[in-house]
Amino acid sequence: MIAKFTVAERQWSLVLLVLTALAGLAMAALGAGDAMGVHGFIVLIVSLGLIFVVGGGLFAPEPTEDRRRAYYDDPIKLGLVLAMVWAVIGMGVGDWVAWMLAYPEARFDAAWSSFGRVRPVHTTGVIFGFGGNALIATSMHVMQRTSRARMAGQVSPWFVIIGYNLFVVMAVSGYLMGVTQSKEYAEAEWYADIWLVIVWVTYFVLYIRTLARRNEPHIYVANWYYLAFILVVAVLHIINNLAMPASLTAAKSYSLFSGVQDAMTQWWYGHNAVAFFLTAGFLGMLYYYLPKRANRPIYSYRLSILSFWGITFFYIWVGSHHLHYTALPHWVQTLGMTFSVMLLVPSWASAGNALMTLNGAWHKVRDDATLRFMFVAAVFYGLSTFEGSFLAIRPVNSLSHYTDWTVAHVHAGAMGWVALITFGAIYAAVPMIWRRETMYSWKLVEWHFWLALAGTMIYVFAMWNSGIVQGLMWRTYNEAGTLQYSFVDTLVAMHPYYIARAIGGLLFLTGAVVGSYNIWMTIREVGHEAKARDVPTDSEAGEPAVPVAE
Amino acid sequence: MSVKKRDPLTGHQTTGHEWNGITELNTRVPRVIWWFILVTHLYALIAWVLLPAWPGITGYTKGILGIDQQERVERQVADLRAARAPWRDRIAAATVENIRADPDLSAKVAETGPALFGDNCAACHGAQGQGGPGYPSLVDDAWLWGGDAEAVLETLRVGINADHPDTRFAQMLSFDGILSRDEIRTVAAYVQSLSGMETGADPDRLAEGQVLFMDNCASCHGDAATGNTDLGAPNLTDDHWIYGGDDAAIFTTILRGREGWMPAWEGRLDLADRKILAAYIQDLKGQAQ
Amino acid sequence: MIRWLQKLYYPIQAGHYRLEKHSIGLTLAIIFAAMIGGFVEIAPLFTIDETVEEAPDMRLYTPLEQAGRDIYIREGCYACHSQMIRTLVDEVDRYGAYSLAVESKYDHPMLWGSKRTGPDLARLGGKYSDDWHVAHLIDPRAVVPESVMPHYAFLAQRRLETESLPARLAALGKVGVPYDAAMIENAERDARGQANPDSDDAGGVAERYGEATQIRPFDGDTARLTEMDALVAYLQILGKLTDAASRIETAAIEADMEAAQ
Ligand code: HEM
Ligand code: HEM
Ligand SMILES: [Ca+2]
Ligand SMILES: [Ca+2]
Ligand SMILES: [Cu+2]
């Protein structure tokens, strides 16, 4: 892998690595006694390890010029492998956390293993570790193929993937040590946040430069979505994480905003982390791997335009639906509610566009579990966005908010949509990127599919039940006009559902482990593909038609 | 130059462009989508007209319904209170005995009591009022401040050692430094013997304990150690214990002293609620027996 | 109507068709489209006065309470507990007056929460005794057998780190909490004093933070200042920084009674 770097690039990388090593050393020394010091050590060790790798290849001969005529997929491989590693970690921790809610002593007798510290390890592990790596890796795959251009740079893709994972490691190890800003999905502390900004800007520059090199007059839909994902997440991340550190040599910081403004900013971020991370990014994935696998044209280009701009414009307004009936002024809640309902149109338009694309390929959906992953994901996408818009209506939210109904909705989206589309995309991508003829075992893909589907159904149904039961119990009045149940009564009622959920989660996790094994064996055992080489070429077809004419 | 093809399956034209093998159809946006847009946007428009919605720099549109969530819940709470008032006013005015004698009111107590007790009292006194280490049982006959309803209601109102200005004050002194450890063990044995426990102490020691008790403890717990409900000093001759009746617990009680904290509920629960609880405790006691 | 909508859509399609040929154009358009909503919803929250109510009696967290709040955040209590009583009858009935914006005015960040695995804590202050909190945090199931809350016994053992308190209050000062120089300077002493009523440091706490400040050995032991002291001090102040909410409620009840007459 170093052999493909030019000598200048190797030197560049070394300089960069020495800089990060120094930064790590400084953090370790100055932050000694604080969690920041531990993070400094992690940065230092990772940098030193990489210096070792790059240094070892420093004097290898210059690569040949013809590498420029090939796509650059090596960093993507790392990204995909890491996505599966995080899938197992994140979902494993998720299932542990689920058991803890049923049996609170299912933990170690140590501070780091309490529910409050471990839960964000799950959310960050699956969203940023699993989802983020999958998004970055597939985006690099998709942008090259749909631009017919090699990635713009050889160092920056590695920097993006490794730097990004360093962020996730700092985040989750921080939570276990008690380092958190408590802002959901943005819990990592200020220095990790700053690091992510650097990584993310590099990612954007890489993306835009690759698009600029494209041999296609037009930018493909998948890239619109990936681009929206990169851009909006950057803005959200920077604004929501504005904070004042108590000291430059310690982790603790205080959010710039307070009270009601902080709540709105947080959920403007929180919801749009859902929208632009868990939705836009994965729609980008869907728009490439689904038509590719089904070998069918996208049902409607015009519908794509409508849903893309609808999603980009409407989503941003709806964060206040996380704050219904709270001290947030009523007017903001009305905006959040109404925009959430309008948002259903572009959401279903994109789900519909995906499903209609499968017209003519239903036999493949039946036979090919990889495509079936993507099909079911699109269905769950439609389902969870419908549910989301429904939950955003104030009276509905008065029942669902604070209960497991939200958790059911989250996992219909997160397991049913995000994880399934990712598994589908990875099964489609692995043979392409490693240039294997097929996956190691189609039977294992089949197994994974059914485990994942069963796990999702059990999880979601259990949480729907518990959420609605709990919400109703909280507000049940008896004939005298007083509350019927105490809080602890509702707690007791949750217990069986919590067990069911943990079992569903275990099935889902097992599926992910099976998938990881299958991918591993594909890389190790399956023979290379003999087909034509997959290289950037000039576009054959010219301009697409202007959409108004049919 | 674009190569437009017709998709044989749907009959729609492609846009003529191809990305890494992917083509797109130029299908019109289906009519149902337009209807969908129409309906959802109409819904939004209506909501914006009716409800508070759009901000300016220093204000926002209030909506023609004039709804505000805070006023609304205040009205709902007031309505609920009004609906409950007929029986709650009667409860507030009645004595606990009368409440329990009145089948209608005691039905209300039975309905309201469990959640009220569960959300406020059970954390300390246990789900069935059975008490726990440090928290007295409410279903036995041992009362610190007297078992009549008035006393219980007053305890609920002002709490014990709480932050209410009229709070009841009850302190078991710490005898650390006043009595030697040996003396403490002796008086503890005496205290245990009062409730008929087998202590293994010989009569001399018990007599010695009795003297110590008379000198140090009787001022609060009474000569006969039957307690003093004016001071909240418990009866030590029964077999009900707040902190436990074993050697270690009693030793700690005498050595370190005790000062239980029962919160004052006046600011949280109104008179009717407190009466319901006082009556409900009696129900619990009935169930326990 | 539908025709009209379709017509409206043509220029959008045509505009997009041109835009998708320019990566920078697409970038700018995305940023523009995606920023409008956030701006319209967030900016006015800073400019519309009635967003945050007036509460002249609002007091600040003492250093000990703020340290407790930091522990609450560190342990992730917000993952299970909300601190926001919504404007719904059953919540007002169960937890007390609905929460006002002003009550979290000094909360950087707010801890309104999004999940109630455990009950709301917005008005917890004074509901239970210090001893109960200590016992509950050490072993929740010893006091509430049905509880699924984790145990936090180590808090009672761990010394409270107070050295960074002045810096922490100063940072809060920079983001708008009106801590004055004396408060920042005395932060460590005040933290010790608040948990030890008999010490010389106790007097300064009441002086700086008001007579109503709770000065007690929260974990039951004056000899050591532990993390338990801080957390319990924080739990005991929840809902008690200002009377604004109960004033509103009393006013509403009175208005209602007048109307009834
Ligand atoms: C093995 C499968 C999984 C299990 C067992 C699991 C379990 C859990 C549990 C127990 C919680 C805490 C709920 C609570 O506090 O009551 C949770 C929260 C969450 N999980 Fe998962 N999870 C799984 C998969 C996933 C995946 C694949 C994703 C995302 C891609 C995800 C995203 C989330 C999010 C965002 C939350 C926070 C929800 C909220 O705050 O409302 N989970 N999960
Ligand atoms: C039209 C699309 C959607 C709308 C309008 C929507 C709406 C909502 C609403 C109303 C809530 C509950 C807020 C509360 O009561 O606390 C919620 C929570 C959530 N939704 Fe969605 N949702 C949508 C799609 C999705 C999708 C596709 C995902 C994918 C994973 C998702 C993930 C989440 C998460 C993670 C939360 C929990 C946030 C938290 O409390 O921590 N949503 N959403
Ligand atoms: Ca952060
Ligand atoms: Ca949440
Ligand atoms: Cu949302």
CATH number at residue B220: 1.10.760.10
Nearest bound ligand to the CA of residue A385: 2
Distance from CA of B238 to the nearest CA of A (A): 32
User: How many contacts, defined by CB atoms under 8 Å, are there between A and C?
Assistant: 263
The residues whose Cβ lies within 5 A of ligand 3, an ion, are: A 181, 186, 188, 193, 241
Residue C42 shares a structural domain with residue C69: no
Residue B36 shares a structural domain with residue B109: no
Pick from A218, A266, A325: which is nearest to C88 by CB? A325
Identify the pLDDT of residue A151: 94
Neighbours of chain C (3+ CB pairs under 8 A): A, B
Q: What angle do CA C47, C48, C54 make, to 5 degrees?
A: 110
Residue C16 shares a structural domain with residue C91: no
Mean pLDDT, rounded, for A219-233: 97
Mean pLDDT, rounded, for B152-175: 94
- Per-residue pLDDT reduced to its tens digit, C61-102: 999 999 999 999 999 999 999 999 999 999 999 999 999 999
Mean pLDDT, rounded, for C36-63: 96
Mean pLDDT, rounded, for B162-179: 93
Output the CA A254–ligand 3 centroid distance in Å: 10
Residue B266 shares a structural domain with residue B161: yes
A403: nearest Cα among A497, A540, A513? A497
Pick from C5, C44, C144: which is nearest to B38 by CB? C5
Q: How far apart are the first and last CA of chain A?
A: 48
Instruction: Output the DSSP codes for B94-137.
Output: S-HHHHHH-HHHHHHHHHHHHHHHHHHTHHHH-TTS--BTTB--
Residue type, A367: D
Interchain CB distance below 8 Å, B27 and A542? no
CATH code for position C103: 1.10.760.10
- Domain around C11: 2-51
The number of CA neighbours under 13 Å toward the Cβ of A542 is 6
C-alpha to C-alpha distance for A467 and A485, rounded to whole angstroms: 15
Residue B118 shares a structural domain with residue B6: no
To probe the interface with C, which of A97, A181, A261, A308 has the most C CB atoms within 10 Å? A261
3-state DSSP percent of chain A in helix, strand and coil, to 5:
75, 0, 25
Output the CA A271–ligand 3 centroid distance in Å: 15
- Per-residue pLDDT reduced to its tens digit, A228-268: 999 999 999 999 999 999 999 999 999 999 999 999 999 99
Res A538 pLDDT > 80 = no
Mean pLDDT, rounded, for B67-94: 94
Chain B residue numbers touching C98 (CB-CB < 8 A) = 70, 73
What are the two backbone dihedrals, phi and then psi, of residue A300, each rounded to the nearest 5 degrees?
A: -150, 120
User: DSSP character for A545?
Assistant: P
Identify the pLDDT of residue B200: 81
Asked if A35 reaches chain C (Cβ–Cβ under 8 Å), the answer is no
* Crossing angle of helices B181-194 and B203-216, rounded to 10°: 100
C-alpha distances (whole Å) from A238 to each of A110, A161, A195, A201, A242 are: 34, 19, 11, 11, 6
The residues whose Cβ lies within 5 A of ligand 5, an ion, are: A 271
Interchain CB distance below 8 Å, A330 and B44? no
Q: Does a structural domain hold residue B269?
A: yes
For residues C67-100, one letter each, b for 16 or more C-beta atoms within 10 angstroms of the residue's C-beta and e for the rest, the string is bbbbbbbbbbbbbbbbbbbbbbbbbbbbbbbbbb
Residue C101 shares a structural domain with residue C156: yes
Instruction: Establish whether B217 is an annotated binding residue.
Output: yes
Instruction: Output the DSSP codes for B171-189.
Output: -BPP-BTTB-HHHHHHHHH
Whether A321 lines ligand 1, by a CB cut-off of 6 Å, is no
Residue C36 shares a structural domain with residue C113: no
Interchain CB distance below 8 Å, C126 and B163? yes
Instruction: Establish whether B121 is an annotated binding residue.
Output: yes
Question: Which tokens is A473 given?
Answer: 């119990």
Res A146 pLDDT > 80 = yes
Interchain CB distance below 8 Å, A116 and C80? yes
Identify the pLDDT of residue A539: 60
Q: Does a structural domain hold residue B171?
A: no
Residue finishing a domain among B48, B67, B86: B67
Pick from B15, B51, B52: which is nearest to A545 by CB? B15
C-alpha to C-alpha distance for A450 and B146, rounded to whole angstroms: 66
Interchain CB distance below 8 Å, C47 and B57? yes
Q: What total number of domains does chain B contain?
A: 3
Q: How far apart are the first and last CA of chain B?
A: 94
To probe the interface with B, which of C45, C129, C134, C219 has the most B CB atoms within 10 Å? C129
Residue C23 shares a structural domain with residue C74: no
Asked if C87 reaches chain B (Cβ–Cβ under 8 Å), the answer is yes
In chain A, whose CA is at the least distance from the CA of C168?
A246
Q: What is the CA radius of gyration of chain B?
A: 35
Residue C97 shares a structural domain with residue C121: yes
Asked if B33 reaches chain C (Cβ–Cβ under 8 Å), the answer is no
CB B112 within 8 Å of CB B91: no
Pick from A217, A491, A548: which is nearest to C13 by CB? A548
3-state secondary structure (DSSP) of residue B12: coil
**Nearest Cα residue to atom 1 of ligand 2:** A385
Residue B93 shares a structural domain with residue B207: no
Asked if C135 reaches chain B (Cβ–Cβ under 8 Å), the answer is yes
Burial class of residue C3, CB neighbours in 10 A (0-12, 13-18, 19+): exposed
Burial class of residue A33, CB neighbours in 10 A (0-12, 13-18, 19+): exposed
Asked if A247 reaches chain C (Cβ–Cβ under 8 Å), the answer is yes
Identify the pLDDT of residue A68: 77
Res A531 pLDDT > 70 = no
Nearest bound ligand to the CA of residue A97: 1
Q: Does a structural domain hold residue C260?
A: no
Mean pLDDT, rounded, for C26-37: 96
Residue B160 shares a structural domain with residue B75: yes
Residue B148 shares a structural domain with residue B266: yes
Interchain CB distance below 8 Å, B77 and C132? no
Residue B16 shares a structural domain with residue B123: no
In chain A, whose CA is at the least distance from the CA of C71?
A178
Distance from CA of A425 to the nearest CA of C (A): 24
- Going by pLDDT thresholds of 50, 70 and 90, the confidence category of residue B89 is very high
Whether A184 lines ligand 2, by a CB cut-off of 6 Å, is yes
Residue B199 shares a structural domain with residue B241: yes
B262: nearest Cα among B163, B189, B183, B161? B161
Residue B159 shares a structural domain with residue B91: yes
| B146 Rama sector, left if φ>0, alpha if ψ -120 to 50, beta otherwise | left
**Looking up tokens 């010389």, which residue turns up?**
C200
Residue B252 shares a structural domain with residue B281: no
Q: What is the CA radius of gyration of chain C?
A: 24
Mean pLDDT, rounded, for B79-102: 95
C-alpha distances (whole Å) from C60 to each of A487, C107, C178, C195, C209 are: 31, 10, 8, 17, 7
Residue B82 shares a structural domain with residue B216: no
What are the two backbone dihedrals, phi and then psi, of residue B233, each rounded to the nearest 5 degrees?
A: -85, 125
C-alpha torsion A162→A164→A165→A169, nearest 10: 130
3-state secondary structure (DSSP) of residue C119: coil
**Domain spanning A74-524, CATH class:** mainly alpha
Residue C237 shares a structural domain with residue C129: yes
Neighbours of chain A (3+ CB pairs under 8 A): B, C
User: DSSP character for A277?
Assistant: I
Q: Does a structural domain hold residue C196?
A: yes
- Domain around B56: 1-67
Whether A324 lines ligand 1, by a CB cut-off of 6 Å, is no
In chain A, whose CA is at the least distance from the CA of B110?
A480
CB C235 within 8 Å of CB C228: no
Pick from B34, B120, B268: which is nearest to C5 by CB? B34
Identify the pLDDT of residue B91: 96
Identify the pLDDT of residue A172: 98
Instruction: Establish whether B125 is an annotated binding residue.
Output: yes
**Nearest Cα residue to atom 37 of ligand 2:** A410
Identify the pLDDT of residue A3: 84
Chain B residue numbers touching C49 (CB-CB < 8 A) = 58
Nearest bound ligand to the CA of residue A238: 3
Residue finishing a domain among B67, B92, B123: B67
Q: How far apart are the first and last CA of chain C?
A: 54
For residues A488-501, one letter each, b for 16 or more C-beta atoms within 10 angstroms of the residue's C-beta and e for the rest, the string is bbbbebbeebbbbb
Identify the pLDDT of residue B1: 40
CB C118 within 8 Å of CB C149: yes
Interchain CB distance below 8 Å, C101 and A119? no
Residue type, A324: H
Question: Which tokens is A182 given?
Answer: 């408590």
To probe the interface with B, which of C139, C143, C198, C211 has the most B CB atoms within 10 Å? C143
Mean pLDDT, rounded, for C135-156: 97
Q: Does a structural domain hold residue B24?
A: yes
User: What's the mean per-residue pLDDT of chain A?
Assistant: 95
Identify the pLDDT of residue B88: 96
Whether A322 lines ligand 2, by a CB cut-off of 6 Å, is yes
- E strand or H helix that includes residue A92: helix A74-102
C244: nearest Cα among C140, C130, C97, C142? C97
CB B261 within 8 Å of CB C131: yes
Q: Does a structural domain hold residue C18?
A: yes
User: What's the mean per-residue pLDDT of chain C?
Assistant: 94
Residue B145 shares a structural domain with residue B283: yes
C-alpha to C-alpha distance for A70 and B209, rounded to whole angstroms: 97
In A340-388 the beta strands, taken as DSSP E runs, fall at none
How remote is the C-alpha of C169 from its chain's centroid? 16
Identify the pLDDT of residue B108: 96
- Per-residue pLDDT reduced to its tens digit, A269-292: 999 998 999 999 999 999 999 999
**B22-25 and B14-19 beta bridge pairing:** antiparallel
- Higher-confidence position of B29 and A543: B29
Burial class of residue B121, CB neighbours in 10 A (0-12, 13-18, 19+): buried
Residue C200 shares a structural domain with residue C92: yes
Res A549 pLDDT > 60 = no
C-alpha distances (whole Å) from C155 to each of A252, C8, C119, C149 are: 19, 63, 21, 15
- Per-residue pLDDT reduced to its tens digit, B208-253: 999 999 999 999 999 999 999 999 999 999 888 999 889 999 999 9
User: DSSP character for B258?
Assistant: B
Interchain CB distance below 8 Å, C74 and A179? yes
CB C64 within 8 Å of CB C230: yes
**Looking up tokens 């040590």, which residue turns up?**
A177
C-alpha to C-alpha distance for A266 and C111, rounded to whole angstroms: 11
Tell me the domain boundaries of chain A.
Answer: 1-59, 74-524
Res A465 pLDDT > 70 = yes
Residue type, C53: E
What are the two backbone dihedrals, phi and then psi, of residue B14, each rounded to the nearest 5 degrees?
A: -80, 165
Ligand 1 atom, smallest distance to A131 CA: 30
Q: Does a structural domain hold residue B266?
A: yes
Interchain CB distance below 8 Å, C110 and A314? no
Asked if B76 reaches chain C (Cβ–Cβ under 8 Å), the answer is yes
